[in-house]
Structure 1
Amino acid sequence: MADTHIFFVADGERLEIQSWLLAATLAHAHQDRRDVHLYAYASADWLPQIGPVTQAIYRVAGVSLRPLPAPPKWAKPYPHGNKIVAATDWRGPGWSIFLDTYMVCLRDLTTLSALPDDHVAAAPEGRATWGPDERWERAYGHYDLPLPTTRVRLLRGDRPENLPYFNAGLVAMPESPGAGGKRFAAHWLETAVDFDHNCKIANKRPWLDQITLPLAMARFGYKAHVLDESWNYALSYRGSDIALTPDAHILHYHRFRFLAAAPQWPAIRARFFEALPKAHHAAARAVFEQAALLD
């Protein structure tokens, strides 16, 4: 099994606080796995401000804190692009898995590292937030590519079939070089920057990362490994159904109130405080109380 490099962006106070739970749950799901490596990225401006609770949980969880690489020149500011920028950092051979910071991990993710090196793995988006097909035809046409013949089934609502469109909250990518000797992350960033500047098409933001993910795959010969919902299970706006949340690989909660309503939350919270050194419990509890995460 290849090494697995799991990384996230904790740039700013909100993402940093969310990363406490992600770091703790990643460490718990991969305990005693020496082939799993965890990384958090923050900008040079935020790194000196990383707080003591964060430093403590990263230390216990084995998270390496790294500076974000220099961003490209986007057409206009695009914070969502930090995930693609972080992906370009070299962590070592094997596979890298990006995770949104407002996630918790319930199960081992390393089976993704056994995929062929010409695959990229992601789960379909919940809804067709960018489209319609005519717009995708222009997007692929920008690279002289035909529309894909394959379809994915979206994961929310009536779950219609759709052109390949993925939630960029979890993306697993090979670190081995592909076309032109470049890694997939470099191809994704190159595609995103070019599309941002040069494709005259509406409503790129905030979906530029998700638009250019399948475009980068198509441009450089990667196959999409379509993950099922358990790999990126969205908790938002499920109403009373949230009580039926399965023990998925990843819970993607977006807002703390959705996580607090999930049946897994009490165990997640308990394991977090078991891992966190007691000297930091009061500070963490104060934050959780403000976020309505404590009973």
Structure 2
Amino acid sequence: MAAPNLLIVAQAGRLEFEAIIFAASLRHSAPDFAGRLIVAEPRPDGAWAGHDTRIADDTRSLLEGMGAEIVPFTARHFGAAYPYGNKIEALSVLPGDEPFAFFDTDTLVVGPLDRLPLAAARPAASMRREGTWPEPPLYGPGFGTIWKSLYDRFGLDFASSLDLSQPDEHWERYLYFNAGWFFGPDPAAFGQRFLDWALSVRNDPPEELACQSLDPWLDQVVLPLVIHGLGGGRPGPDLAGLDGDVTCHYRNLPLLYAREPEAVLEVLETATAPNRIKKRLRHWEPAKKLIYQGKGRAKIRPLFANGLPAKEKPIRQALKKNGWWWD
């Protein structure tokens, strides 16, 4: 079966530098990957009007030199008001009826991505998540009622989505993903449903969501509904390499140096070592200081020498307190 089309989103600023790291790590760790790497670039119009979203020429040349195809799109519905919506609207640049895999740009490919059965598997998404949504109020509604209201909205079977090994009202009982990666057999069907349902929830949320925030969680609220509705679900053991020894969703370079294993650091530093890559990445302060000046290893790593907190928030707080954070 043909390799899936890979999709990331990049625009001026942090995302274009992360796109360089993604492409460099893909070529380093999966040199035999035969699929297309498509970089969706939002145009500075529509919902991004008034913002300079265009990737710099130097970045564009470097990405194309690593085999990436940069394809522009116009965001009509989310844009600057909800940048996470880029991943929803960017699916429109992919050819229909061809398997796809979306990755957040802040992802490092650390292993042979070409050996995973992405093109053959049913739709799924990342399980590297915390119980961030919903936050049921003290007197209800609870997790079950909130999630069921969404399944009912779109005519989905709620019961079949549950993980019955988890107790009632525990967040892991309910289908919930991180939207850092997801995939499916047809981006046209996936993208249209993702867009339609996200707009429905944003514009007219069920009353059970009255106490819930949808910013920044909208994409992660709707994603499990889309995947379940398309016959997918939690990823199986054959995809364990995602968020494992094949890909690493690091989210932020300081977080990578804080919590990822030595093997991940080695891939990052080796993949970004070539002069043509270093020349461009040094224009991005986090890469300049953490990778090329060695501050990631020398300054961040020792902060957590005695162990990492269980949650991400205190790690971020420690990094910010010590001056090692960039938004």
Shorter-chain TM-score: what band?
A: 0.7 to 0.9
> What residue is the counterpart of 2:105 in the other structure?
101
Distance 1:150 1:92 in 2: 27
Instruction: Give the Å deviation of 1:63.
Output: 0.6
Are 1:127 and 2:130 an aligned pair?
yes
> What residue is the counterpart of 2:151 in the other structure?
140
Q: Percent identity, aligned pairs only? A: 23
Deviates more, 1:24-33 or 1:203-212: 24-33
Query: What does the per-residue CA deviation read over 1:113-145, in whole Å, with 9 as the maximum and x for residues that have no partner?
Result: 3425xx212122522211222211222222244
Instruction: Give the Å deviation of 1:230.
Output: 4.4
Instruction: Give the Å deviation of 1:283.
Output: 4.3
Structure 1 residues 50 and 227, CA gap change in structure 2 (3 angstroms): farther
What runs of 5+ residues in structure 2 fail to find an aligned partner?
45-51, 135-142, 295-327
Query: What does the per-residue CA deviation read over 1:140-171, in whole Å, with 9 as the maximum and x for residues that have no partner?
Result: 222244423343599xxxx9732111111000
Q: Is the 8 A contact 2:43 2:74 kept in 1?
A: no
- RMSD (CA atoms): 2.9
> What residue is the counterpart of 1:186 in the other structure?
192
- TM-score of the aligned structures, taking structure 1 as reference length: 0.78
Distance 2:270 2:89 in 1: 33
Instruction: Look up the SS of the partner of 2:178 in the other structure.
Output: coil
> What residue is the counterpart of 1:16 in the other structure?
16
Query: What does the per-residue CA deviation read over 1:188-232, in whole Å, with 9 as the maximum and x for residues that have no partner?
Result: 11111112112232312211111111212344x422252568444
> What residue is the counterpart of 1:241 in the other structure?
none
Instruction: Give the Å deviation of 1:21.
Output: 0.8
How many pairs are equivalent? Answer: 264
Distance 2:256 2:157 in 1: 40
- TM-score of the aligned structures, taking structure 2 as reference length: 0.71
Paired residue for 1:151, among 145, 162, 166? Answer: 162
Structure 1 residues 38 and 153, CA gap change in structure 2 (3 angstroms): farther
> What residue is the counterpart of 2:219 in the other structure?
209
> What residue is the counterpart of 2:30 in the other structure?
30
Instruction: Give the Å deviation of 1:57.
Output: 3.0
Paired residue for 1:284, among 262, 281, 284? Answer: 281
Q: Is the 8 A contact 1:9 1:83 kept in 2?
A: yes
Instruction: Look up the SS of the partner of 2:132 in the other structure.
Output: coil
What runs of 5+ residues in structure 1 fail to find an aligned partner?
177-181, 234-246
Deviates more, 1:37-46 or 1:282-291: 282-291
Structure 1 residues 77 and 231, CA gap change in structure 2 (3 angstroms): farther
Q: Is the 8 A contact 1:120 1:172 kept in 2?
A: yes
Structure 1 residues 250 and 207, CA gap change in structure 2 (3 angstroms): same
Q: Is the 8 A contact 1:120 1:217 kept in 2?
A: yes
> What residue is the counterpart of 1:237 in the other structure?
none
Are 1:223 and 2:223 an aligned pair?
no
Structure 1 residues 142 and 61, CA gap change in structure 2 (3 angstroms): same
Distance 1:22 1:140 in 2: 35
Distance 2:146 2:72 in 1: 36
Distance 2:159 2:120 in 1: 22
Which residue identity lines up with residue 285 of structure 1 in the other structure?
Answer: R
Are 1:173 and 2:177 an aligned pair?
no
Distance 1:22 1:289 in 2: 13
Instruction: Look up the SS of the partner of 1:161 in the other structure.
Output: helix
Instruction: Look up the SS of the partner of 2:194 in the other structure.
Output: helix
Structure 1 residues 25 and 91, CA gap change in structure 2 (3 angstroms): farther
Distance 1:86 1:207 in 2: 18
Distance 2:27 2:82 in 1: 30
Query: What does the per-residue CA deviation read over 1:226-247, in whole Å, with 9 as the maximum and x for residues that have no partner?
Result: 25684443xxxxxxxxxxxxx6
Distance 1:289 1:213 in 2: 31
Bigger radius of gyration, 1 or 2?
A: 2
> What residue is the counterpart of 1:268 in the other structure?
268
Structure 1 residues 293 and 198, CA gap change in structure 2 (3 angstroms): same
Equivalences for 1:62-73 in 2 at 5 Å? 62-72=67-77
Structure 1 residues 160 and 133, CA gap change in structure 2 (3 angstroms): closer
Structure 1 residues 73 and 39, CA gap change in structure 2 (3 angstroms): closer
Which residue identity lines up with residue 40 of structure 1 in the other structure?
Answer: V
Q: Is the 8 A contact 1:112 1:121 kept in 2?
A: no
